[in-house]
């Protein structure tokens, strides 16, 4: 496990570290935001046990793959934790979950409202077994409200939360920003914050609680600054007509001569001056004032024509080391090669898979990727034994069908 493209601090090691070392979390496996939460907690040192439905033979295939040195499972969101194959429709499996809850600090589930209760592992039941438990719930719409039981995806949650409308140019429809705002920013990351906050409080009070993390709530929260700008008269309600949403010539993406792109963010006056100098326009009397909004469209056309005169690499060299806030737009597949990312080990390579390193960074208790992602159920025996479940009990659970 090495840093991708360079040396320096290597946040990918085989032993568990991080500020959450000693915290135990039960993960009832889902997709997207909840696994991202668990990845963050596990990278930060928490001992997370992922319980998931595994297809017949998955355990054996996983053990064979590890023995042969085969590449790890591709789902990077499942890194740094063990996978136990379980059938939650089996009463013995439900009792196993509750016994694990008794020694856990937290539990995370991403089912629709009411599903965990029907399975017998809802918050009331779990907190009755462990009153210090922090029970994290990840949904799109939240645990209540008229949309709570309706299906949805990131695009739906950020649409209702008021975020999607803001992405796009004045003459185009809103553009989905991948699934970063709802699933991961407003969902998984805020649930991770909620878990850590509640774990901190539980350590003082001795009482657990339930966290209702809804992606629609999180997406709305991420828009707080834009609401503040509007209240302060700094934001036009028309899309694509503001400083940060493609209207300003100094906060834009420009195409280069080789069909690549440069990102420009020279907002402050001193940074704008460096931008203008790099473009060869310093002292040009025909250049309007930076904040002359009526002139922004013409200024953007002029900047765009200039950027088309050089390649991305040539413009990168022009602005390197300046405060113009101009950098190349890198694809996800080349970002790990940028000198800054190499120097900081922003990306790491774990068993042949290049991926983002844990973030944020801790000076004394660094986060690490403790293991590559497992195939579903590949760690059923070892994972449960590590949590203190007797091997004979594991064998009986497998015989009863509780472990898939």
For the packed helices 190-205 and 33-43, what is the interaxial angle rounded to 10 degrees? 60
pLDDT at 65: 62
Residue 338 known to be catalytic = no
User: Is residue 276's pLDDT more than 90?
Assistant: yes
Are the C-beta atoms of 220 and 159 separated by less than 8 Å? no
**Sheet strands (E) in 110-248:** 134-139, 209-214
> Which burial class, exposed, middle or buried, applies to 26 when counting CB atoms under 10 A from its CB (0-12, 13-18, 19+)?
buried
SS3 content of the chain, % helix, strand, coil (to 5): 40, 15, 45
pLDDT at 55: 67
- Relative to beta strand 47-52, strand 82-85 is parallel
Over residues 59-116, the pLDDT tens digits come to 566 566 656 655 567 899 999 999 999 999 999 999 999 999 999 999 999 999 999 9
Sign, CA dihedral 146-149-150-156, equals positive
pLDDT at 7: 40
pLDDT at 62: 58
User: Is residue 238's pLDDT more than 50?
Assistant: yes
For the packed helices 215-222 and 190-205, what is the interaxial angle rounded to 10 degrees? 100
Sign, CA dihedral 31-159-148-123, equals positive
Instruction: Report the share of the chain in percent with pLDDT over 90.
Output: 88
The mean pLDDT value for 365-378 works out to: 93
Residue 153 known to be catalytic = yes
Q: What is the DSSP string of 258-318?
A: TS-EEEEE--SHHHHHHHHHHTT-TT-TTSPPTT-GGGHHHHHHHHHHHHTTS-HHHHHHH
pLDDT at 14: 45
User: Is residue 10's pLDDT more than 60?
Assistant: no
User: Is residue 221's pLDDT more than 50?
Assistant: yes
> Which tokens sit at 363?
């000076």
Considering 43, 154, 183, 217, which one is annotated as catalytic? 183
The mean pLDDT value for 261-274 works out to: 98
pLDDT at 306: 98
Closest CA to 362 of 30, 40, 15: 40
Q: Of 3-7, 176-180, 263-267, which range is least confident?
A: 3-7
Over residues 145-183, the pLDDT tens digits come to 999 999 999 999 999 999 999 999 998 999 999 999 999
User: Is residue 245's pLDDT more than 60?
Assistant: yes
* 8-state DSSP, 336: G
**Residue 328: CA atoms inside 13 Å, Cβ hemisphere, count?**
24
The count of other CB atoms within 10 Å of the CB of residue 160 is: 17
* 8-state DSSP, 72: P
pLDDT at 71: 57
For the packed helices 91-102 and 391-400, what is the interaxial angle rounded to 10 degrees? 150
The mean pLDDT value for 29-48 works out to: 96
Considering 153, 212, 323, 338, which one is annotated as catalytic? 153
Tell me which of 10 and 129 has the higher pLDDT. Answer: 129
User: Is residue 325's pLDDT more than 90?
Assistant: yes
User: Is residue 9's pLDDT more than 50?
Assistant: no
Instruction: Please provide the average confidence, as pLDDT, over all residues in the chain.
Output: 93
The mean pLDDT value for 312-338 works out to: 98
Q: In what order do the strands lie in the sheet with 353-356?
A: 2-3, 347-350, 353-356
pLDDT at 74: 84
């Amino acid at each position: 496990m090495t840093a991708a493209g360079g040396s320096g601090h290597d946040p990918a090691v085989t032993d568990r570290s991080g500020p959450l070392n000693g915290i135990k979390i039960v993960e009832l496996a889902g997709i997207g935001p909840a696994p991202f939460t668990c990845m963050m907690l596990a990278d930060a040192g928490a001992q997370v046990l992922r319980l998931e439905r595994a297809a017949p033979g998955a355990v054996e295939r996983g053990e064979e793959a590890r023995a042969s040195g085969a590449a790890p499972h591709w789902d990077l969101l499942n890194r740094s934790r063990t996978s136990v194959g379980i059938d939650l429709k089996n009463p013995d499996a439900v009792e196993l979950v509750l016994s694990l809850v008794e020694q856990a600090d937290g539990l995370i589930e991403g089912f629709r409202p009411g599903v965990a209760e029907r399975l017998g592992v809802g918050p009331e039941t779990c907190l009755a077994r462990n009153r210090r438990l922090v029970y994290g719930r990840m949904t799109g719409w939240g645990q209540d409200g008229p949309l709570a039981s309706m299906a949805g995806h990131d695009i739906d949650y950020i649409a209702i939360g008021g975020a999607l409308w803001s992405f796009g140019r004045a003459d185009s429809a809103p553009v989905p920003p991948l699934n970063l705002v709802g699933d991961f920013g407003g969902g998984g990351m805020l649930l991770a914050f909620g878990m850590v906050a509640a774990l901190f409080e539980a350590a003082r009070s001795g009482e657990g609680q339930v966290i209702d993390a809804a992606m629609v709530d999180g997406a709305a929260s991420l828009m707080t600054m834009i609401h503040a700008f509007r209240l302060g008269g700094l934001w036009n309600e028309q899309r694509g007509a503001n400083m940060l949403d493609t209207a300003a010539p100094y906060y834009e993406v420009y195409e280069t001569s080789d069909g690549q792109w440069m990102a420009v963010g020279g907002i402050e006056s001193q940074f704008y001056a460096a931008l203008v100098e790099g473009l060869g326009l310093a002292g040009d009397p025909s250049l309007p004032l930076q904040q002359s909004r009526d002139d922004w469209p013409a200024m953007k056309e002029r900047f765009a024509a200039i950027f088309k005169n050089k390649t991305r690499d040539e413009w990168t060299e022009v602005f390197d080391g300046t405060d113009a806030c101009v950098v190349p737009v890198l694809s996800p597949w080349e970002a790990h090669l940028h000198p800054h990312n190499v120097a900081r080990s922003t990306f790491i390579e774990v068993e042949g898979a290049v991926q983002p390193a844990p973030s944020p960074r801790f000076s004394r208790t660094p986060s690490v990727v403790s293991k590559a992602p497992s195939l579903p159920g590949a760690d059923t025996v070892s994972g449960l034994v590590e949590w203190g479940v007797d091997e004979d009990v594991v064998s009986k659970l497998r015989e009863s069908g509780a472990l898939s």
